[in-house]
Amino acid sequence: MLRVVEDFLAHPHEPLAQTPALATALTVRSNAPTADRDLLLRIFDRELHYYRGRPIASPEHYVAVFEGPGRAVECALSVLSIAHQSRIDARAGVQKTLREGLSDARSHAGDHGSLVLERSVHNV
């Protein structure tokens, strides 16, 4: 038995090609002054860590991916609540999408203080 395990470990497998996967994307936007946006980024990062999201690089918005919609919505509501208490103009959008379609998710955010929920359907 030990030999079988040693043989298995001795021959590394080729990584699988990345395939599209369902994800929930959260986008937070703000037109606030730079100092407020810096505070919003710190709030976003803290809440993202708490709700176990993964940040996605975006030059204009704060974007993250979650394994499921529940955490994304809770994170969005928490960020918006703290931003509102801090008097920061912020809005958020949550979209269920394929991971390869995240660039489209970056543009979805509602009006000031609102949360937009959207579901994308793709033929797979």
CA-closest candidate to residue 120, choices 112, 19, 102, 76: 102
19-119 has CATH 3.30.70.1230 classification: yes
pLDDT (0 to 100) of residue 50: 96
Q: For residues 40, 30, 112 and 120, what is the CA-based torsion angle, rounded to 10 degrees?
A: -100
pTM score > 0.85 for this model?
A: no
- Scored b (16 or more CB within 10 A) or e, 63-91 reads bbbbeebebbbebbebbbebbeeeebbbb
User: 111 Cβ partners below 8 Å, 6+ apart?
Assistant: 91
* Rg value, the chain, Cα: 19
Task: Kindly write down the DSSP assignment for every residue of 70-103, as one continuous string.
Answer: HHHHHHHHHHHHHHHHTT---EEEEEEEEGGGHH
Treating both helix axes as pointing N-terminal to C-terminal, what angle do 69-85 and 34-50 enclose, rounded to 10 degrees? 140
Q: Tens of pLDDT along the chain (124 residues)?
A: 778 878 777 877 777 676 667 788 899 999 999 999 999 999 999 999 999 999 988 888 899 999 888 999 999 999 999 999 999 999 998 888 766 544 444 444 555 555 555 555 433 3
User: 101 Cβ partners below 8 Å, 6+ apart?
Assistant: 20, 120, 122
- Domain extents in the chain: 19-119
